Structure 1
Amino acid sequence: MTGMDAFETTALIGAAALPLAHEIVQDDQRVSGEPATGLVELGTFGGLEIGVWEMTTGAMTDVEADELFVVVAGRATIAFEASGVVLAIGPGDIVRLTEGDRTTWTVTETLRKVYLT
């Protein structure tokens, strides 16, 4: 069971193996390499969207939404422009992002996360 109906009933989803369609990151966001991203929206939970997102190796900039995520696989750093904070993240890490934060994601090992936004 995948896609938007995945959480309408009791479900087990293998987040690490869920197939994702990837798109190359656009030039205006790409910093280095040829990163691609993919995602699948799984549905909603308590009014929040839940899904799985992945980024291949490389670096890109982003403007964040309010989000909580758990890293399922891979390694990356997230640099926050305003504060200068750099987070090194990997499997099992839980991260909170704030809407409007400008970030640079540098992925050294394809990163996959389960997110709530």
Structure 2
Amino acid sequence: MTGQTFKVLPETCLQPVPSRLIPKSSFTSDRSNELTSSFFDAEDGSVNAGIWECPPCKMHIPSYPVNEMMTIIAGRLIITNSEGNQESFGPGEVLFVSKGSEMTWQITEHLRKYYMTAN
């Protein structure tokens, strides 16, 4: 395997395409137009990285599908965990979500984030 190093800038990513990470049935509001621009996909699908974005909406995720580290680029996200605890995240903040976590996401401003997922 040959190593790759590259600078990641939002404007250098590929054209956004509809995201399939979160099932449409998880959205509890009308808007579910999530998009992703991937800039790295491991051949075996075990690691992915890119930019994800979504307009304001709300979604309940009974079991988060991947381990994910993300950095908010723009917008605001409120996460409520299964115990009812809430945290708010905005530009420049970094968070980690572990696979299998139950949570509700409320996106209050159009959200853009860098992400890296691992299965």
The TM-score normalised by the length of structure 2 is 0.74
Comparing both structures, which one devotes a greater share of its residues to helix?
2
CA offset digits 1:11-63 (Å, max 9, x no partner): 4443268542346x72x212124232111221158x73211111111111223
- When structure 1 is superposed on structure 2, of 59-68 and 98-107 the one drifting more is 59-68
1:106 is aligned to 2:103: no
Distance 2:91 2:70 in 1: 11
The TM-score normalised by the length of structure 1 is 0.75
Distance 1:76 1:36 in 2: 16
Aligned amino acid, residue 72 of structure 1: I
Say how many residue pairs are matched: 107
1:68 is aligned to 2:64: no
* Structure 1 unaligned blocks of 5 or more: 1-7
Comparing both structures, which one devotes a greater share of its residues to strand?
1
Runs of 4+, deviation exceeding 4 Å: 16-19
Give the secondary-structure state (helix, strand or coil) at the position aligned to 2:103.
strand
Q: 1:108 to 1:17 in 2, by over 3 A?
A: farther
**What is residue 26 of structure 2 aligned with on the other side?**
29
1:20 is aligned to 2:31: no
Give the secondary-structure state (helix, strand or coil) at the position aligned to 1:75.
strand
* Structure 2 unaligned blocks of 5 or more: none
